Structure 1
Amino acid sequence: MTSSSVAVERRIAAPRDRVWDALTDLQGMERVLKGVTKVEVLTEGPFDVGTRWRETRRMFGKEATEEMWVTACTPAERYVVEAESHGMHYVSEWDLRADGPAATTVRMTFTGEPTGRQGLLARLLAGLGRGAVRKTIAKDLDDVATSVERGGTGSA
């Protein structure tokens, strides 16, 4: 099985710095993203390459916790987060493009690549999983838009 990617874009009526703050405020993530139920930050210091955290989400009626780490970061423009889970390596890339002084387009690309041998069930579910991932990303971006457009950015 080869890697599979999903990309979703959302225009947010807020300046790029405010959108960046909402996306990278790990302590405030539970208040911004409704699907996130808990965040445990594992490193100290500002959000940058090497930042690690455990994120617990509710998906499909169950909670799942994944450890994530930042592998690339250009403040207010782009960052990349990676994770390993259940035989897959995941890469989430966030790109922020200013659309004038008061709007930002965010593009999130999520890629999953098998790290080991995948069974028949995993291959069959890959197509169904893309739709669920797309919906989750779109919901997260809607949550960020709701937060920053009303003036909140968490505790950053």
Structure 2
Amino acid sequence: MDHKTTLIQHINAPADKVWAVISDIPGSAATLSGVDSIQMLTEGPYADGTRWKETRTMMGRAETVEMWVSQSEPPSENRGGSTTVKALQGGADYTSRFALTERDGGTDLTLTFGAEVLKPSRLSKVMMAVLGPIGMRITRKALARDLAEIAAKAESL
């Protein structure tokens, strides 16, 4: 059983500036109001295999999740670029995919977020059917705020 949502934010900045913001994991706590702190687990530039712990507060509760880059293609002259970030937490597999497409002198940033429950029990299936849509609405609102804050930061560079 999985849940998925896609959001698009047009940003009045070129793809390389948008990429600079989304790939700045150490700086994301300063950019994103929903992120309390970042602890880097690997060194070096943003690339496949980059790992960190991210602490966010959602619904009044702080939670720390280990995240990693599973795919990274920085933008170039011929293409917009994309990256996929993964996390495993509480029996669920989370995937966030960011795709950058240049349009109208700026960049469309498309975020596709998915959550898949691994080995769901009958009870978890029932709970996801009942609470899943509420959780996804809360998640979608938080992701929309993240995209707006990414846009503001990229447009200020």
User: What is the TM-score with the length of structure 2 in the denominator?
Assistant: 0.90
Which of residues 139, 143, 146 is equivalent to 2:145?
139
Local SS of the residue matching 1:50: coil
Q: Are the structure 2 counterparts of residues 136 and 128 from structure 1 closer, same or farther at C-alpha, using a change threshold of 3 Å?
A: same
**Aligned-CA RMSD value:** 1.1
Letter paired with 1:103: G
Shift of 1:123: 3.0
Shift of 1:150: 2.1
Which of residues 88, 92, 102 is equivalent to 2:92?
88
- Whether 1:28 and 2:27 are equivalent positions in the alignment is yes
Letter paired with 1:108: L
| Residue of structure 1 in register with 2:18 after alignment | 19
Shift of 1:105: 0.4
Q: For 1:147 and 1:74, how far apart are their aligned partners in 2?
A: 21
| Residue of structure 2 in register with 1:109 after alignment | 112
Q: Which runs of 5+ in 1 are unaligned?
A: 152-156
Letter paired with 1:107: T
Q: For 1:24 and 1:127, how far apart are their aligned partners in 2?
A: 29
Hey, which bits of structure 1, 4+ residues long, moved more than 3 A?
none
- Percent identical among aligned pairs is 34
Maintained 8 Å contact 1:56/1:66:
yes
Which structure carries more relative contact order (alpha carbon 8 Å, separation 6+)?
Answer: 1
Q: Provide the aligned length of Structure 1 versus Structure 2.
A: 149
Local SS of the residue matching 1:127: helix
